[in-house]
Amino acid sequence: MLNADNATKPIRLIERVEKYKGHVITVYEDHVDIGGHDAYWDYIHHNGAAAVLPVTDDGKLLLVRQYRHALGRYTLELPAGKRDGDEDFLVCATRELEEETGCRADSFEYLLTVNTTVAFLDEIIYIYIARGLHSGQVHWDEDEELGVEEWSLEDLIRMIREGEMTDSKTVAAIMAYAATGSAQER
């Protein structure tokens, strides 16, 4: 059982040292004081992202299949991408939907927000439902090659339960969509 005293110890940042700056993340080493004890924690900053759960008029969900180098395999995911600077999350979601699927949407509805890995990463992803899909223009990044696939909610939930789908933003969005009754509101 958690000791309440330990859960409320004051934590103070003493120093943050940048160790690496990439195109998507910046890695820091933080020196912190935890109730009188020194500790060193890894901290990764990400500028945030937006993702979209596109729903067709007949209730199918559009997902993208893409290669993820860190996993060494293809994954099935929501269309998503990082924000440009301090870009509005909905603007980012709108852009990513068209870039990755070639679709535009008549309406977007906020679904949920997720922090992907709270132990060491501050990435936040705003996730929206997109409806009223119609043709737009695909604009893949140079390092992207995506396949757009249509799925039933039932098949995706089965894949989640069987461990075939593990992308956290996608799993969270599909389960939230199913739980909110949004799937029945077509």
Residue 145: which pLDDT band, with cuts at 50, 70 and 90? confident
Q: What per-residue confidence (pLDDT) applies to 142?
A: 65
How far apart, in whole angstroms, are the C-alpha atoms of residue 177 and residue 174?
Answer: 5
* CATH 3.90.79.10 location in the chain: 49-116+125-185
For residues 33 and 25, give the distance between their C-alpha atoms in angstroms, rounded to a whole number: 25
Q: For 84-131, how does the pLDDT look when each residue is reduced to its tens digit (9 = 90+)?
A: 999 999 999 999 999 999 999 999 999 999 999 999 999 999 999 999
Beta partners for residue 15, in sequence order:
31
Q: What is the DSSP track for 43-103? A: EEEE--EEEEEEB-TTS-EEEEEEEETTTTEEEEE--EEE-STT--HHHHHHHHHHHHHSE
Instruction: Give CATH for domain 49-116+125-185.
Output: 3.90.79.10
| Widest distance between CA atoms in the chain | 59
Residues known to be catalytic: 142
Residue 6: pLDDT band with limits 50, 70, 90: low
pLDDT tens column, 156-176: 999 999 999 999 999 999 999
Q: Which pLDDT band holds residue 139 (cuts at 50, 70, 90)?
A: low
Q: What is the pLDDT of residue 185?
A: 53
| 22 pLDDT more than 50 | yes
Q: Write out pLDDT tens, residues 25-71.
A: 999 999 999 999 999 999 999 999 999 999 999 999 999 999 999 99
Q: What is the pLDDT of residue 186?
A: 47
Q: Give the pLDDT confidence score for residue 157 in this predicted structure.
A: 97
Give the integer Cα–Cα distance in Å for 19 and 21: 7
